[in-house]
Structure 1
């Protein structure tokens, strides 16, 4: 499904994107999601850094009582609470659709963060964890113009 059809299918739903997640980060994000009251939870799209992790992320969400769909298995299934976008080449699409993006690789130590410039260029609000060593200049520049929140 392209941008227009996804916009139509997701109309009226807030969308939180967890972009380029690594092991350990998915659990933190799912824990934060399930801590929210059901009536205010956004739909969550998790895009793992390595697509082969999709099924294990889906199982992790299911163990928390969340409904899940895998984009690779059900590309049109968008009603689940969590969509695992385990497909290649769609991250820009999700940045365009999201109300907020968590730029991952930054929530646990040892990865150094991922590039925040793509979501910034696409006008997607950004939050990131504290571990952004690989992108210090980009994050400093974005912080200076209130273009990112470091949590």
Structure 2
């Protein structure tokens, strides 16, 4: 797991697949309709919002995926210098900060979730994703 000065943590178990993170980025940077710097992947049955399994045993999760085009913005003073995606996350699934600083929100959240049995990982570079985004998930 690479530690960078500022990291986005993604608590996969808190994400509801609402796309607010992606839309916040899109609006803040006035991106064209077909351009996203991050998208929300459905983890389940192989399609957008398609669950895995058979009724009544269905399961589905969502995961914000940061593309290499993400500019690692710092937001602005109105967002307390958090990236727009983190600031606007309605479920607090996203946390931002310095993992090397024990007082930062990201370091505190990483410690809290690991103490609860969560596993941390990064997505593979071959997926065309931004390095340094850390995902946390329970029950891997």
Instruction: Indicate the structure with greater helix content.
Output: 1
TM-score (norm 2): 0.28
State the structure with bigger RCO (CA 8 A, min sep 6), 1 or 2. 2
Q: TM-score, normalised by structure 1?
A: 0.27
